[in-house]
Amino acid sequence: MNIRHTEHHNMSRIGWLRAAVLGANDGIVSTASIIVGVAAAAPGVGEVLLAGTAGLVAGAMSMAAGEYVSVSSQSDTEAADLAKERQELVDQPEEELEELAATFTKRGVDGPTALEVAKQLTLHDALGAHAREELGITETCTARPLQAAVTSAMTFVMGAAPPLIIVLIAPADQIGLFVSVATLGFLALLGSLGAFAGGAGIIRGAMRVTLWGAVAMAATAVVGSLFHAVV
C-alpha cells in the first residue's frame, strides 16, 4: 500500500512572511507614532489625519522601494554567483565534482559515498546541486524583489489604517491616548500572528513587537510635547 507523506514547513513562507511582518509592523508603528507626536502638539483632528495619511502614503512607497532595491541587490548577487559557478562547471568539472563531494564529507558522509552522491547529483542537475550545497541558494530562499516590494507596501497600508481609523472615532482631546492603547493591542496581535505563521512562540513574538512600538510612540510624544508644534 502506497502512502503519500506530505510535509509543510514554515520555511516555505519565508519569502513573503518577512516582508509582510516588516511592512505591517512599520505601518502601525510609524503611522501611530506620527499621530501621537502630532496629537501631543495639540492641533486639530484635521491636522492629525493629514499627518497620518501623509505618513501612510510616504511610508508605503518607501517600504516598496526599499524592499525592491535591497532584495534586488541580493538577487543580483545570487545571479552573479550562479553565473560564476556555471562557468566553473564548464572550465573545471573535475575540481567542481571534488568540491561538491567535500561538502558531504564535512557532514559526516564517507568519501566513496560522498563522491558517488556528487556524481549522481551532477548528472541530474549540476548547477542546482552546487547552488544548494556550496552557495546555500535554494528555491525557498531565492530573492524575489517584486514579491517583497508589493507585500511590504500592501501590508504597510493595512498596518497604517487602524491608527487612522482610531483618530476618526476617538475624542478630539484624547486622540494620543486612544491611538496609543489601540496600537499596542494591534502590535500584540500582529506579533502573535507573525510568530504563529513562522512557527515561533506567540507570547514572545507579541512582546518584542509591542515593546518597540511603545518606545517609538513614547519618543514622538515627547517630541510633540516639548516643541508643542506640528512636526
Q: What is the pLDDT of residue 230?
A: 44
Lowest-confidence region among 3-12, 43-52, 92-101, 137-146: 3-12
Share of the chain above pLDDT 90, in %: 5
Query: To which residue does cell 476617538 refer?
Result: 170
Mean pLDDT of 176-188: 87
Q: Are 139 and 11 a contacting pair, CB within 8 Å? A: no
Please tell me what DSSP assigns to residue 135. Answer: I
Q: Which residue has the cell 514579491?
A: 147
Phi and psi dihedrals of 23, rounded to 5? -65, -45
pLDDT of residue 53: 92
| pLDDT value for 212 | 79
pLDDT, one tens digit per residue, over 77-90 is: 888 888 888 898 88
CA 109, distance to chain mean position in Å, is 35
Q: What is the pLDDT of residue 57?
A: 92
Structure-model confidence comparison of residues 64 and 2, the more confident one: 64
Asked if residue 8 has pLDDT above 50, the reply is no
Q: What is the model's pLDDT at position 11?
A: 44
Q: In the numeric block, which cell numbers belong to residue 27?
A: 505601518
Q: What is the pLDDT of residues 126-142, one digit of tens each?
A: 888 888 888 777 665 66
Each residue of 217-226: b (16+ CB within 10 Å) or e?
beebbebbee
Among candidates 132, 127, 105, 128, which has minimal Cα distance to 116? 105
Question: Helices 14-40 and 45-91, interaxial angle, to 10°?
Answer: 150
Gap between the terminal Cα atoms of the chain: 70
> Which residues have CB under 8 Å from 42's CB, separation 6+?
228
Mean of the per-residue pLDDT values of the chain: 80
Euclidean distance between CA atoms 136 and 151, whole angstroms: 24
Any residues with CB less than 8 A from the CB of 181 and at least 6 apart, and which?
Answer: none
Contact assessment for residue 15 and residue 196, using Cβ atoms and an 8 Å cutoff: no
For the beta carbon of residue 154, count every other beta carbon within 10 angstroms.
18
Q: Which of 56-70, 153-167, 181-195 has the lowest mean pLDDT?
A: 181-195
CA distance 158 to 23: 9
Q: Average of pLDDT values for 33-42?
A: 83
> What's the pLDDT at 63?
85
Say what the pLDDT of residue 141 is. 61
Position with higher pLDDT, 167 vs 193: 167
C-alpha–C-alpha distance, residues 11 and 34, integer Å: 34
- Mean per-residue pLDDT, 162-184: 88
Instruction: Identify the top-confidence range among 4-18, 34-48, 140-154, 174-188.
Output: 174-188
pLDDT digit string (tens) for 90-105?
898 888 888 888 888 8
